[in-house]
């Protein structure tokens, strides 16, 4: 069973404003976003985490990181630590929420041969960007997000947080876009042992960062071939929290379709769905989808239609909208699917596609079932929010 390895992490110096130098993860940033964060501060983490995808770009990123570590922009923990990380925010309903997890080094294992499990099939990526960046920097920059099946982990982490604050620890952090990010490093052996004792009772499911974990597997093999299996590359920086409702906020990743006419797409969908007129999409419609069990088709012109599953159409198919659509559209020749998060983004983007389909968020129960039964979801089944902040912690592989 997994244990989180403490490590001597690198953090921005206490005098530095974390709002100016941290950023969302690289895979949710547009080119414009990267430029905006880079312009905030010469030491913003995007200068290292999102370099030009060229040999020179990766070398410059590694040199920049080295400079920050040498000149005191970043400072290293005196002792190996785990790091408590809390995200506080209001969810889509307006309710106040808090997710508390822990950063540490998660073992890098081959799927099926250890206690770390994938939760969805992964779409292939031709780019070697993350692997090239890891080779150049020899560092974990952007964390994997894991969900632990260990009952009581949230309470244990909450106690560790409260104890640290009571002992005088001051969380470092920032607030952006309505989300407060706070971290507290902990080095107390008893606290670390208590966290790991609980983590060791259950598997960890990869929630977000499957590609990052895949890069860690490849890098582990490369480094292991040279220096042996006990290298720091046998672990990768991961945030882990408990797989329970109050510790997760899950949104949908909607489907964009090309390579087919709207007429042919609707004909294929009609074999499994009753199709009826719908008003233009609104946030209220997303809630209605959850309540009624329906999906929504959006045409290029913004018009919409309800997709109501026909009785028996999905017998034997998992209760996942992505799986239903894969089944309904399996025989459509030339069909191409891409993915888009966010209703406003879908409504804007559909103008450049044949059509879009809004799907419902995957339930926590279905995520748990995936883990306990060893199943895999279709690609892009879940969008975990808020996104973890890159730059709060860096782990060098030395």
Q: In the predicted model, what is the mean pLDDT of residues 263-290?
A: 93
Q: In the predicted model, what is the mean pLDDT of residues 105-113?
A: 88
User: Which residues, other chains included, contact 203 with Cβ-Cβ below 8 Å and sequence gap of 6+?
Assistant: 1, 2, 115, 116, 117, 148, 149, 371
Task: Say how far apart CA 81 and CA 11 lie, in whole Å.
Answer: 12
Check pLDDT > 70 for residue 340.
yes
Task: Say how far apart CA 24 and CA 319 lie, in whole Å.
Answer: 31
Check pLDDT > 70 for residue 124.
no
Confidence band (pLDDT; 50, 70, 90) for 118?
Answer: confident
Rounded to an integer, what is the distance from CA 283 to the centroid of its chain? 23
pLDDT of residue 365: 75
pLDDT of residue 185: 98
Check pLDDT > 80 for residue 363.
no
Confidence band (pLDDT; 50, 70, 90) for 388?
Answer: very high
Name the burial class of residue 305, with classes exposed (0-12), middle (13-18) and buried (19+) by CB atoms within 10 angstroms of its CB: buried
83-97, 206-220, 330-344: the lowest-pLDDT one: 83-97
Alpha helices in the chain (DSSP H): 18-21, 31-40, 46-49, 55-71, 129-137, 153-166, 189-199, 210-227, 262-269, 283-292, 321-328, 343-349, 364-373
Check pLDDT > 90 for residue 349.
yes
Q: In the predicted model, what is the mean pLDDT of residues 234-239?
A: 96
134-147 tens-digit pLDDT: 999 999 999 999 99
pLDDT of residue 121: 58
Confidence band (pLDDT; 50, 70, 90) for 125?
Answer: low
pLDDT of residue 126: 53
Q: In the predicted model, what is the mean pLDDT of residues 200-222?
A: 90
Confidence band (pLDDT; 50, 70, 90) for 313?
Answer: very high
pLDDT of residue 308: 97
Coil/strand/helix, residue 77: coil
Torsion sign across C-alpha atoms 290, 292, 293, 297: negative
**Mean pLDDT score across all residues of the chain:** 91
43-52, 274-283, 373-382: the lowest-pLDDT one: 373-382
Torsion sign across C-alpha atoms 87, 84, 21, 172: positive
Name the burial class of residue 162, with classes exposed (0-12), middle (13-18) and buried (19+) by CB atoms within 10 angstroms of its CB: exposed
263 half-sphere exposure, CB direction, 13 A CA radius: 0
pLDDT of residue 224: 77
109-113, 118-122, 212-216: the lowest-pLDDT one: 118-122
Check pLDDT > 90 for residue 283.
no
Higher confidence at residue 168 or residue 282?
Answer: 168
pLDDT of residue 67: 98
CB distance 360 to 295 below 8 Å: yes
Higher confidence at residue 361 or residue 294?
Answer: 294
DSSP strand pairing (204-208 vs 116-117): parallel
Q: In the predicted model, what is the mean pLDDT of residues 93-106?
A: 88
Confidence band (pLDDT; 50, 70, 90) for 375?
Answer: low
pLDDT of residue 2: 76
Q: In the predicted model, what is the mean pLDDT of residues 330-338?
A: 94
Q: Which CATH class is domain 253-360?
A: alpha beta
Highest-scoring range by mean pLDDT, 43-52, 140-149, 286-295, 362-371 = 43-52
Q: Where in the chain are the domains?
A: 10-249+384-396, 253-360
pTM above 0.85, yes or no: no
Confidence band (pLDDT; 50, 70, 90) for 251?
Answer: confident
């Amino acid at each position: 069973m997994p244990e989180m390895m403490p490590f001597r992490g690198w953090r921005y110096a206490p005098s530095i404003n974390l709002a100016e130098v941290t950023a969302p993860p690289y895979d949710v940033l547009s080119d414009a976003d990267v430029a905006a964060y880079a312009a905030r501060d010469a030491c913003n983490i995007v200068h290292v985490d999102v370099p030009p995808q060229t040999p020179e770009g990766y070398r410059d990123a590694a040199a920049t990181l080295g400079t920050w570590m040498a000149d005191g922009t970043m400072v290293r923990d005196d002792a190996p630590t785990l790091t408590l990380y809390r995200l506080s925010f209001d969810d889509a309903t307006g309710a106040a929420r808090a997710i508390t997890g822990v950063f540490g080094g998660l073992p890098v294992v081959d799927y099926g041969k250890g206690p770390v499990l994938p939760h969805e099939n992964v779409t292939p990526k031709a780019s070697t960007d993350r692997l090239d960046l890891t080779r150049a920097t020899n560092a974990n920059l952007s964390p994997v997000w894991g969900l632990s099946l260990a009952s009581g982990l949230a309470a244990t982490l909450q106690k560790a947080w409260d104890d640290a604050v009571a002992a005088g620890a001051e969380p470092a952090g920032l607030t952006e876009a309505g989300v407060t990010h706070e971290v507290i490093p902990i080095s107390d052996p008893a606290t670390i042992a208590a966290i790991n004792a609980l983590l060791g009772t259950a598997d960890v499911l990869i929630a977000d960062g499957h590609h990052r974990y895949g890069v860690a597997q490849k890098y582990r093999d490369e480094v292991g071939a040279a220096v042996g299996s006990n290298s720091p590359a046998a672990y990768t920086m991961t945030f882990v929290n408990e797989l329970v409702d109050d510790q997760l906020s899950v949104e949908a990743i909607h489907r964009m379709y090309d390579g087919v006419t709207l007429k042919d797409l609707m004909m294929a969908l009609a074999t499994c769905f009753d199709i009826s007129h719908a008003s233009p999409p609104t946030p209220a419609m997303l809630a209605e989808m959850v309540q009624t069990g329906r999906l929504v088709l959006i045409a290029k012109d913004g018009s919409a239609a309800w997709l109501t599953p026909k009785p028996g159409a999905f017998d034997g198919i998992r209760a996942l909208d992505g799986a239903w659509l894969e089944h309904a559209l399996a025989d459509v020749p030339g069909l191409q699917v891409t993915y888009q998060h966010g209703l406003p983004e879908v409504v804007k983007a559909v103008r450049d596609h044949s059509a879009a389909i809004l799907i419902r968020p995957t339930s926590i129960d279905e995520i748990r079932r995936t883990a306990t039964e060893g199943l895999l979801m279709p690609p892009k089944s879940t969008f975990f929010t808020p996104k973890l902040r890159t730059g709060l912690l860096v782990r060098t592989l030395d």
